[in-house]
Every structure is written in C-alpha cells, then in structure tokens.
Structure 1
Amino acid sequence: MDTLVIRTMTRAEVDFAVDMAAHEGWNPGLYDAECFHAADPDGFFIALVDDAPVGCVSAVQYGGVFGFLGFYVLLPAHRGKGYGLQLCTVAIDRLKRLQVPIIAADGVLAMLPKYEAYGFTRAYGNIRHEGPAGGTAPGDPRLRPLREVDPQALLALDAAHFGAWREAFLRCWTNPAHGEGLAWVEDGRLTGYGVVRPCVRGWKIGPLFAPHPEAAEALYLGLRALACGGPVYLDTPVPNAAALALAARHGMRPVFETARIHLGPPQILPLERIYGVTSFELG
C-alpha cells in the first residue's frame, strides 16, 4: 500500500514545485524559486509516496496578516486518491495555526468546485494576456530604473497594493536575474512600479502597480521594451477596466484565467491601481 508523507520542502525542492507549475502550463519565471522560498521558507510542502515526489502546495504567510495558497498540484497518476485533500488541509492548517486572518489563492477555474468544497468563496477573476514583446520605451522623465528608488518607499508602496509587507520577497523580486524593474515617480513621490522577468515561455510583467492609466501605459511600454524575444504576459484583475483596455490596446489576447478566492474575509485591495498581478502562485 502506498504511504503518503507530507513535509516542508527544502530550498532545492521548491524547484520541483516550479517545474510542476511549468508542466501544468502556468508558465512560471525561470528564476522564481529563489524569491518564492525567500518569502516564507517554511511555507512550501511536498507530498511523497515511497520517497518519490508526487505533489506540492504552498501556504505562504506575510507578516501574520495575510496568507496565500499556491502550487497546489499533483502528478496525474496520483490524482483521485485523496492526496490533494491532505495537501490542502496541511496548507490551510498551517495558516490557521499562525492565526492568519485572511487566506487567499488564485485558483484555476477547473478547480473552483474543489476550493468551494474547502470553504473558499470567489471574489473576482484574473485574465492572463499574451502580446508582442519589444518596442520603444517612452521618454518620460517620470519613468525611472527601479534600483534608483528608496527601498523603504518601495516597500510601503508595494504593501499598499498587495495588502501586506513582503520585504524578503521584494528584495529578490525587484532585482530579477536577467529581468528589470521600472518605477513611476511623480512630483518627487514613488507612486507606481513594475517588474519584467523571463519565463518558461516569453516574459511576464508583474507586478504592475500604477496610480492612473497614463502611468500604467508608460510602465507597460517601458517593461515590454526590455523583454528580449518571445511574447510578453500580463495578468490583469477583471474589475480593473483600465487594465483590460491597456491589454486590448496593445494587441494582447486572453490565454488563461484564474479566480481570486478567499477563505474567510476578502482582502480590500485598490484594484483600480493593480494593472498586473505579481504572481498567481504567491499573490
């Protein structure tokens, strides 16, 4: 009889989770594992049967105020055996033990009935858009390299959009290997930023936080211009009509959808300023 063991991942095993996401077609970044693990080293779980990895899930907590589930996937040969329920239970129990008041996830639509059975409710949808990379960055002086901005100002801006502080994660994410970040500085204040990074296929922009459509347009064009070959992807919250309009205006097409779901109270986020989600895996 198969024996299932679920335990915390090592850093090297987070690569397995990213590989699982890639095989599911979720198109993770090539160097995401390092930043993901930095966010919460105790928040990644691997399922093993007879010492062989068969599945994974993450339950990352941010400062005790927000928890996010991701990487919930099993190898096809091990589905339908109850392993998924055990994985999800371990993840949720971890966040409940930490007394995290808000638990969320970006669930693929096919899995929503399972999430609803666990008690999750749907808040809104997200659409992944695909479009051409390259082009010319705007010559707007308000658009600046992200490395030039004050780190504390960046942390505060990010927390206002994400709903929690994530210092260890941002330290890694905003200095991506082979990627780049741009800032929007208006009247001497940092009010928006974005990051572009290489993925299994093409490049992904995320996050893209902007105070208004003009800033979002400049950040998007600047980041797109930094993408070298392949398509570029942007994950947009459906309630942000300006984000959907930006994607359509630049010839992007919808290729994938998720739903932001919550266990317990929903997050109150400034969706009108969120043009691109950071990551479907970690929020």
Structure 2
Amino acid sequence: MNSEFAVRPMRPGELELVLEWARQEGWNPGLDDSNAFHDADPSGFFVGVLGEVPVASISVVKYGEDFAFLGLYIVHPDFRGRGYGKAIWNTGMASAEGRSIGLDGVPAQQDNYRKAGFEEAYRTVRYGGVISAVPESTLVAQAVSGKLDGLLRYDATIFPAPRPAFVASWCATRKDRHSAVVRKSGKIRGYGTIRRCYEGYKIGPLFAADKDSAAALLSALTPHAKGAKVFIDIPTSNGEAVELAESMGLAPVFETARMYRGTAPNVALKNVFGVTTLELG
C-alpha cells in the first residue's frame, strides 16, 4: 500500500463524487441524495486519498448510540488490489465501535462480510419496470407537509433507530422528490417517498401498516414517475409487498442480503413494503 494513502472525513463536494462512483458501479443513486445522506450523520462519511486524490470511500452512518449502517464502500477501479479497501473499512468500522452495524450486501460480497462478523438477517429483492397498473385502495394518501412530529414517531417504530434529521431532509419536497402519508381516523398508517434516480425512479421508504395503506401510497407516488421505470427494494418475507409489486408489472432486477454485525434489531418486516435506501438502511 502506498505510504501516501490516508483516510479522512469527507469534505464538501466529495460525497457527490462518491455517488458518481456509485452510479458507475450500477447502484443507481438518487439525483439529490447527497443532502439527506449528509444530514443523517455528517461525521459518518470517509474518503481514502492518495495525496489529495480520492480513491476509496465508505459511509458508516450512526443512528443514536446503538445502531449504525454501512454503505458506499467503494474503491475506484484504477486503485483496487492495493489494500486501500481494507484500510478504509477498518477506519469506518472503528467509527461505530460499540454499535450493531447493518449493511446490504450483494451476493458476490456476502462471504467477505461473513468473515468480518456479519450475519444474514433477510433477503431483499429489487423489483423494477414500467408500471402497468396502479393498485386500488380504500384510503387516500396526501403529500407530506407541515410538522413532521407524527411521521418521525411512526418511522421510529419501524426503522431500527430514530433518524429525525435524515427523515426531515429525505421528505423535503423538491423538483424530483415527493413524499406522501396515509392516515386513517387521524392516525398515520404509512408513508413513502419517490425520488428521481439516474435511471428512472425509486420508491423508498414504503412503510405501511397493511397492504391497503401501501396501495394508497403507491397510488399517490407512482404518477410522479410519468411513465419512467420505477424500482422498489422489498424484503422477500413480505409477501404482500411482493404481490403489490407484481400487480404493478414490476419484476425482480437483483437481490441483496441485509446483514448485521452485533445484535440484529427487531424490525417489523411486515410493515416494510420498500426499504429506504441500500446505502443508509
């Protein structure tokens, strides 16, 4: 390994560079993901540099005192096989010492993650395609607006830890990003976000109390895609979520495994109709 190699926190503009690397890897991030990613944990993003040239990256975003999520683990193709990946991995893991750590691993890397102490909790399949039919629902979802207190409390009942800064930024309405919430008798039954990506749109999170609530959210969110492809990352154990995706004409694209090192959080997967993002959990 080159003695000039060093790992340090990302500086302004470098997260955008790493998301471009992610695009080149085929991960298809959102066009405006960097703001919400940074807001989740400004101290959770690292870059490996040779002099001042970034060559590797990792994010280990900390959610509270007990949980963190690892993503954006990339070594630029021109600099692989030189030990830079192991060095930045060690720095990222050390930054979340004492916490359970989650990640979404592609099949080719899962054995490596197991060697690092991660164990599979469940599989996630990305469904994608042009929507051929919008599911019907007895409920009507509305755009997220105003105070987010109730939505933040709802999110914290499903995601492994509270993430108020991330959710507030993720749900901020922008040109290519829209969020919706569905209520019944005044109580939140689910919420979701659709955002434009380099290819098509992704929906995530898609958290809902039941299939009817998820269908209402999909009916509100999918028109924003305007005929472009839509992608949703779905835990395979949620059969109702898979049924909804297939009813819209979506088909499996690829799969990952949610893996944890340390105590796996108790996640109600029956309420996860779509994972928020494979990079941050």
TM-score norm. by structure 2 comes to 0.94
Aligned to 2:178: 180
Q: Distance in 1 between matches of 2:229 and 2:173?
A: 18
Matching of residue 242 in structure 1 with residue 243 in structure 2: no
Displacement of 1:17 in angstroms is: 1.6
Aligned to 1:160: 157
Matching of residue 9 in structure 1 with residue 38 in structure 2: no
- Whether the 8 Å CA contact 2:139–2:212 is kept in 1: the answer is no
Q: Distance in 1 between matches of 2:279 and 2:183?
A: 28
Q: How does 1:217-256 map to 2 (within 5 A)?
A: 217-256=215-254
For the residue of structure 2 that corresponds to 1:161, the secondary structure is coil
Residue identity in the other structure for 1:33: S
- Whether the 8 Å CA contact 1:212–1:273 is kept in 2: the answer is yes
Aligned to 1:49: 50
- Whether the 8 Å CA contact 2:48–2:88 is kept in 1: the answer is yes
Q: Distance in 2 between matches of 1:214 and 1:139?
A: 5
Distance 1:238 1:27, change over 3 A: same
Residue identity in the other structure for 1:86: A
Displacement of 1:131 in angstroms is: 2.1
Which of 259, 263, 276 pairs up with 2:257?
Answer: 259
Aligned to 2:269: 271
Aligned to 2:198: 200
Any runs of at least 4 consecutive aligned residues in structure 1 with deviations exceeding 4 A, and if so which? 133-141
Matching of residue 131 in structure 1 with residue 129 in structure 2: yes
For the residue of structure 1 that corresponds to 2:214, the secondary structure is helix
For the residue of structure 1 that corresponds to 2:96, the secondary structure is helix
Aligned to 2:103: 105
For the residue of structure 1 that corresponds to 2:145, the secondary structure is helix
Q: Deviations over 1:121-155 (max 9, x none)?
A: 1111111111215866868554111115x411100
Displacement of 1:52 in angstroms is: 1.2
Residue identity in the other structure for 1:271: L
- Whether the 8 Å CA contact 1:133–1:225 is kept in 2: the answer is no
Q: Distance in 2 between matches of 1:40 and 1:5?
A: 21
TM-score norm. by structure 1 comes to 0.94
- What RMSD, in angstroms, separates the aligned Cα atoms of the two structures? 1.7
Q: Distance in 2 between matches of 1:151 and 1:189?
A: 13
For the residue of structure 2 that corresponds to 1:280, the secondary structure is coil
Q: Distance in 2 between matches of 1:136 and 1:126?
A: 22
- Whether the 8 Å CA contact 2:125–2:233 is kept in 1: the answer is yes
Residue identity in the other structure for 2:267: L
Displacement of 1:77 in angstroms is: 2.0
- Whether the 8 Å CA contact 1:206–1:279 is kept in 2: the answer is yes
| Structure 1 unaligned residues grouped into runs of 5+ | none
Q: How does 1:139-154 map to 2 (within 5 A)?
A: 142-147=140-145, 150-154=147-151
| Structure 2 unaligned residues grouped into runs of 5+ | none
